[in-house]
Amino acid sequence: MKTPLTYGFLMAIAGAVLAISLYLLGYHSDASKFGTAQILGSVGGLLIGIACITLGVKARRAEVPASEPFGYGRALGAGVMIALFASLFGIVTNFAYVKFINPGISDVITQAEIAKLEAKGLSGAQLEGAEKMIRVMTGPVAYTAMGFLGGFFFGTVISLVAAAFLKRPATADGPPVVN
């Protein structure tokens, strides 16, 4: 349990550092730069997830004696646990970011999304309704909840792929081979 907890914590901290870096660089305080921030955040988050889950599953595999199997199921379980712990720690970091570090991000997201909708030609009444929904979804609680669900979902997808490559293959005439 210690390895998934450690790598999940590292994954959450790395994600928080990425978000704070984007904020300090001005990408989370200007609606015109927010599209770039979304791309950088998505790519950076994906790379952080792949790195932490891969390293964590490898570390967990190294903890299991060579005489015991470490197949796809165990590798997947380790990856999913890392994703779960990262998402749980992410609840704290996301909430702190939205509530205390950058409370204006809701306005930035709203401005960016409204600009996209205006470009599509939505009417004033439609824009008002959309703005209300966007503000609800970018509040601290909703933002944090979506971060948890999204982080856990994508962490699980990464784990599904990583487990296929990080399982310890069994040999036909003896214990599994250690990679």
> What pLDDT, in 10s, does the model give residues 29-75?
999 999 999 999 999 999 999 999 999 999 999 999 988 999 999 99
Q: Is residue 125 assigned to a domain?
A: no
What are the tens digits of pLDDT across the range 75-127? 999 999 999 999 999 999 999 999 999 999 999 999 999 999 999 998 889 99
pLDDT at residue number 1: 81
**Residue 109 falls within a domain, yes or no?**
no
Number of structural domains, the chain? 1
For residue 31, is it within any domain? yes
For residue 11, tell me if it sits in a domain.
Answer: yes
- The predicted pLDDT at position 178 comes to 57
Tokens 């609680």 found at: 141
136 in a domain, yes or no?
no
Q: Which residue range is the domain that position 151 belongs to?
A: 2-102+144-166
Are 86 and 51 contacting, i.e. CB atoms less than 8 angstroms apart?
Answer: no
Mean of the per-residue pLDDT values for the chain? 93
**Is the pTM above the cut of 0.85?**
yes
- Residue 111 placed within a domain: no
Write out the two tokens for 103.
Answer: 């409370």
What residues have CB less than 8 Å from 47, skipping those under 6 apart? none
For residue 173, what pLDDT is reported? Answer: 53
Q: Give the residue among 71, 73, 78 at the shortest CA–CA distance from 57.
A: 78
Residue 137 has pLDDT above 80, yes or no: yes
Q: Which two tokens stand for residue 76?
A: 């997947």
Is 172 within a domain?
no
Mean pLDDT of 11-18: 98
Give the C-alpha separation, 168 to 76, whole Å: 12
Residue 46 included in any domain:
yes
Residue 123 confidence (pLDDT): 87
pLDDT score for 119:
92
